[in-house]
A and B are shown apart, each in its own frame.
Chain A
Amino acid sequence: MSVVGKDSIQTIAQSIGISNLSDDVAAALAPDVEYRMREIMQEAIKCMRHSKRSVLTTDDVNSALSLRNVEPLYGFASGDPLRYRRALGHADLYYIEDREMDFKEIIDVPFPKAPLDTSVVAHWLAVEGVQPAIPENAPIEPTTVPSGAKKADGQAAARKEEESSVDVKPPVKHVLSRELQLYFEKITEHIVSGSNPGLVRDCLVSLSTDSGLHPLVPYFTQFIAEEVARSLDNFPLLFSLMRVVQSLLLNPHIHIEPYLHQLMPSVITCLVAKRIGGKAFENHWELRDFTASIVAFICKRFGHAYENLQQRVTRTLVHAFLDPKRAMTQHYGAVTGLSVLGLRVVQLLILPNIPPYLQLLAPELSIETQPNEMKRYEAWKVYGALQIAAGKWMYNNLKSQLPEFFSAPIKPSMKAGSKALTTFQESQASVNGISSPLATSPSRKRVAAPDVGNQLPKKKFAVDAAGAGVSSSLASTITESVEGESADLPGRAAEQEADGSKGRLLIRKNNPLSDAWKEDADLGGLFSSVEIVLGSNPVHDFGKVALHPRQSSMRLSGATLSDFREWGGSWGSVPFVFVLLTEIALDLDENHEKFNGPAELWIVAAHKVWER
């Protein structure tokens, strides 16, 4: 009848060593045991209440026991849930699992993380009775407006409302508090005037950190769209606006997704607008680069939620890129935008289009065909952007194929300075040898490669006509060899030999790479085409560069700017080399702070040559 049965009493008695407890005694004890248990639990509940908790803990039971002058139960204070095990052979007999612990085991265990110390934070739960929508407050459940919403669809609802005579408030039209209005006004004022850079920066910090700005997001998107449309000739303002976009995107408390469709046009405009800024000297390239990074950020962050987001962005950009009627500035924006969207985009959309595009670009680049210096400059810019895109992609491929050359081994080798050569040579070799996983579209390459072979030798930037010829023929061999994988190694060797004495060194170093090479042999086509497009020479000059630092203990002492130029040999190839160098240098920078100096130097050098 009672909760504690006779059997339980007997079991407990057995467990403490009384084996012959008579039934009568057990029956008499059972109700008393139950009563005591209830009593203790009631006291424990009292303790729980006074500890202002709603979950009973073992501590409460112990407090209750001590209230009754009973020794507390030890061993249950850990707070871990108790694990009950079923006793073998009994359907309803359980016991608490109590493992034997080895002291050594416990001592050897590393210290657990110290629990965070208690602290107090303050926030506004309500301001004059209204709860601000900040993350510290519970989300406000949408107030149900039963008939208010129906109002629109006719008289019936209205009549119903009257009948029920319940005063239902009409749906509230997004009320902005006075404070938020003021905030919005102030921010927009500072952004537009831009007179005080410090204030603008504060505004941006506030936008990127403050919680509770969410109600303002639609107003900000509207503001940005209007301002961008109106003041395309105002470069500083556009830059500020893009910074606002960035701040809004960075703010962790804002749920910006619903407004992305309003923001994107403005952002894309800043990326691929024909003319930005009223004056020529304003560096609108910088704005385009910055905007491109925003586009990349948006695609990265919201791409998974909106599957067609990146698709649409790339389509827009590709259209801008491939339309020959567009201005060079637009092309530049499109290329930059595409290149930041990721290597895959570069691989699929830029690289295949480089050869045909270069046909278009070539006349713009040379001084004979394009007398307007401004236009020529723009064309070079575009050309540089293309090279950056290709270089990045290539570097990354190198990195993914041969990670060991770029991470761990680089440190000791750099320190010692002795192994630098091999590292660089190997990376060099991989530059030469590794190609992209672009086997998916060999046909496209096949189209591209002959084109290049035909066109490039005539171009100024493909100086080494012979090398190009070899490479192009190689390209065709490799593309042919897609079917037969084994054909690639000889081809590779042929290339190396054709490249001359410098290449010989590489062949020897090539062995460890052969595996990787083999796998990617079928993809060789694209690489070689890219190499051709951008000039085959630089790669070998690069080898020189790599050799040189070895002699000077990895200092750039010898590698002066003029050297670079010399090595670069040709206009077009230098930036390409430097993109690679820069990437590698940055990598060093990340891995090893000691190389800060050289890394910076390299970057500076890269820029210098670039600017030329």
Chain B
Amino acid sequence: MEEDQIDKAVLAYLKKKGYRAAELAFQDEQSKVRTVSGNQSTTSSSPIDPTIANQIYFYSRSDNSPGRYKEGFSKLRSWVHSSLDQYKNELLRILYPVFVHSYLELVAKGHSQEARAFFQSFREDHEAIHMRDLQKLEGVLAPQHLEECELARTFRENKIDIKMCQYSFELLLQYLHNTDSMLMLGIVNAHINLQVVPGQPSQLFEEEEAVTLTGKAQDAMELINQKEIRWGVLEDSLEEKLEKELAAEAEKAEAEGKEADAEENKKRAAEGGKPGGTGKKVKKEKTGGGGNKGTKAETTAVAVITRVKPDLPLPVMSEELERQALDDLRNRARLGSSALPSVSFYTFINTHNSLNCVSISADGSLVVGGFSDSSLKVWDMTKIGEVAAPSENGTAGNGTPIKSPGENITPVTAVDNNKTSYTLFKGHAGPVYAASFSPDGEFMLSASGDHTVRLWSLKLNANICCYKGHNYPVWDVQYCPVGHYFASASHDRTARVWSMERMHPLRIMAGHLSDVDCVQWHVNCNYIATGSSDKTVRLWDVQTGECMRIFTGHRGMVLSLAMSPDGRYMASGDEDGAIMMWDLGSGRCVMPLMGHTGCVWTLAFSGEGSLLASGAADSTVRLWDVNASAKFSRSEDKAGAVKRLRLLKTLPTKSTPVYSLRFSRRNLLLAAGAFSPPSSS
């Protein structure tokens, strides 16, 4: 160790700290020593403890040059890139967190120029996956921004979990120690939670798992995800009632036809395990009605599903409605990979870019549009259908009605043009971001930028109630599948559960690290799922308000959610066009569905859950085969290969982004969107 260097380091230290007197004294003494040593060349200076010298030396280097971060990081980067292929993928994962934290530390120490330079030079590496984060972090240049920027704060307050195998871990540590990269080591220690996984490094290169912060330690998260979820459908649900009814009918039929083929029936009964199933089979033989075939096959599939009791007191459905619903279910078109649904598309024209959301009632008769001018407009499609049915084809896609040549049509459309064909609801004081119809079609809820949710009666055409509670714009609202309850999601990072009769929320679900963008009820009403700008989807227990699952994997804000009718799967779509299928039980992603090129605004499962429909900003409706994906996921574990879920059909619209999708109870897919001609820009 050179003494001169130590002296210099000490001098620099004193200078920096502003110890003027000490500095002078030091210099003075130094010159004295020099002269002395010059005279007595042989005398050796007092021996210095090497470790102390080392520390002084290190301090001077680490503290003085912000360039050290860049140097250290680029060394680490090139080392990772030149490492063995087998371990490279695992090691690559640490680069992003190290990069972010190096940058944030530079900012924290006030070297904003150097921070920016550092950021710019390595930005490209991460743009592919973390573009949105980078955009957010890029502006952070001053220490006080670190406190304000929610992303920077979550980065600094939380550890990132990275899994790697034993050998990779050792390689990394060895490297960090050998090259004296104390800075990098420090960052890894402070901000990364390296989890050593026994066994070989995972061969499959899984899309470089997106690093998503959840605000919870890995253990805690695992604990959450291990909570038991009863994802079955409700007891006493319509499907079950239908099943019972069919069984009863079947028994009757069986009794009638007993003499004729009693023998055969017995044989069948022996074959079929469950008595219900036998009855149904017989029934199928007997009636063979067109509508019943579909339901029969469904009910056998449903039979496997567990039934759960509701945690909430649920409203009772009126008998008439129930009969109607049962009738619909009985006549439900059976869909599958070979039987695709019919899609009826409601196009909003002349919206002037002001349409924010669309919602369709359960029977497809009512369509509501929420506009940025705070208004809601409800169209009764049954009435429009009467008037517009003949002129339907006379309207060109470009939004201007063509005068139809037939003379008997023109006056009708003229009348239609003169008076407004919709009901206008005014009351909000901000853009309407979401609307939802109650299952019986009597009420409607709307969420707005004025921080409120409003309840409207469609019979009275009036506002009934205004629910205040959120402190920021409410992004989404949704009725519970049985009505009465509803959930809302807001910019204030909470989701809230309400009941229609109370002014204040029943539950507040807090935990998301950013805006809650969408909310979705589970079919059994015991849970709600929320999608957020923090790239996670969470499942909450409505009764306790606890977080039950955290699903990570999205790379952008989650914009849409859908629950499969059997309650087992959930689909979520994000702003990049990715759709993820989740298994609620295991909390794992079943299948990523790629195909959309724009924000996925809406998702919908078909009545029996065999199809998933998605609508996006790229002006397409896509239909996905859910059954195939579920099968793939099982085989995936063995095969070890990620197979994409089957895209059954892409239905392009005429420059109409798809805002809303809904399967009617008879499995007609209803879609809606605003026609936006491409020339608008």
Contact = CB atoms under 8 A, between A and B. Distances in A.
A145 interface: no
Interface residues of B, number: 91
Interface in A193-219: 205, 208-212
A125 B353 contact: no
Contacts of B388: 121-122
A1 B346 contact: no
Contact of B653 (A119, A125, A205): A125
Contacts of B674: 52
Interface in B637-654: 648-649, 651-654
Interface string B116-153: 11000000000000000001101111100100110000
A51 B431 contact: yes
B517 A50 contact: yes
A34 B135 CA distance: 12
A250 B403 CA distance: 13
A86 to B, nearest CB: 24
A138 B433 contact: no
A129 B623 contact: yes
Contact of A128 (B341, B404, B421, B619): B341
A262 interface: no
A117 interface: yes
Interface string A34-48: 110111001000110
B136 A125 contact: no
B472 A137 contact: no
Nearest to A38: B139
Contacts of A210: 393
Contacts of B651: 125-126, 131
Given A35-B139, A116-B350, A125 B343 contact: yes
Nearest to A32: B142
A49 B599 contact: yes
Nearest to A1: B116
Contacts of A205: 405-406
A211 B149 CA distance: 55
B355 interface: yes
Residue in A53, A59, A63, A121 with the greatest tally of chain B CB atoms within 10 Å:
A121
B561 interface: no
A50 B433 contact: yes
B169 interface: no
Interface in A27-80: 31-32, 34-35, 37-39, 42, 46-47, 49-55, 57, 59, 63, 67
Nearest to B349: A119
B601 A52 contact: yes
A120 B343 CA distance: 16
B340 to A, nearest CB: 3
A324 interface: no
Contacts of A143: none
Contact of A138 (B348, B431, B533, B652): B652
Residue in A59, A125, A126 with the greatest tally of chain B CB atoms within 10 Å:
A125
Contact of A52 (B340, B397, B617): B617
Interface string B302-314: 0000000000000
Contacts of A49: 517, 557, 559, 575, 599
B276 interface: no
B405 A136 contact: no
A50 B392 contact: no
A115 B343 contact: no
Contacts of B113: 1
Contacts of B345: 122-125, 136
Contacts of B353: 53, 55, 57
A38 B138 contact: yes
B342 A127 contact: yes
Interface string A128-143: 1111001111100000
Nearest to A136: B397
B356 A137 contact: no
A372 interface: no
A47 B372 CA distance: 11
B339 A118 contact: no
B342 A126 contact: yes
Interface stretch (B81-89, B323-331, B379-387): B379-387
B472 A67 contact: yes
Nearest to A63: B449
Contacts of B491: 46, 67
A125 B670 CA distance: 9
A2 interface: yes
A303 interface: no
A35 B142 contact: yes
Interface string B640-674: 00000000110111110101000000000101101
B441 to A, nearest CB: 17
B355 A118 contact: yes
A55 B422 CA distance: 27
A38 B598 CA distance: 23
A135 B396 contact: yes
A122 B681 CA distance: 26
B556 to A, nearest CB: 9
A252 interface: yes
A37 B139 contact: yes
B628 to A, nearest CB: 16
B263 to A, nearest CB: 40
B423 interface: no
A51 B139 contact: no
Contact of B475 (A50, A123, A127, A250): A50
Contact of B372 (A42, A59, A119): A59
Contacts of A50: 356, 433, 473, 475, 517
Contact of B395 (A37, A38, A121, A125): A121
Given A52-B659, A135-B396, A120 B347 contact: yes
A58 B215 CA distance: 34
Contacts of A117: 350, 420
Contacts of B138: 38
B509 interface: no
Interface string A427-466: 0000000000000000000000000000000000000000
Given A51-B433, A53-B353, A208-B405, A34 B141 contact: yes
B106 interface: no
A1 B347 contact: no
Contacts of A32: 141-142, 145
A122 B352 CA distance: 19
Interface string B287-304: 000000000000000000
B357 interface: yes
Interface string B402-421: 10111001000000000011
Nearest to B475: A50
B349 A2 contact: no
Nearest to B144: A32
Nearest to B474: A50
Contacts of A212: 393
Contact of A211 (B367, B393, B406, B680): B393
B654 A122 contact: no
B405 A250 contact: yes
Contacts of B371: 118
Contacts of B671: 125
Contact of B340 (A35, A122, A128): A128
B587 interface: no
A148 to B, nearest CB: 21
Given A118-B350, A122-B381, A126-B621, 9 more contacts: A37-B139, A50-B475, A54-B598, A54-B617, A115-B350, A119-B348, A125-B671, A129-B340, A136-B654
27 contacts: A1-B117, A2-B112, A35-B145, A38-B135, A38-B136, A38-B139, A39-B139, A42-B136, A46-B515, A49-B559, A51-B433, A53-B353, A55-B680, A59-B431, A116-B349, A118-B371, A118-B422, A119-B421, A120-B379, A120-B381, A122-B344, A122-B381, A125-B651, A125-B671, A137-B397, A205-B406, A210-B393
In order of increasing CB-CB distance, the 9 nearest A-B pairs are: A129-B340, A38-B139, A31-B141, A125-B345, A125-B343, A116-B350, A126-B343, A138-B652, A35-B139
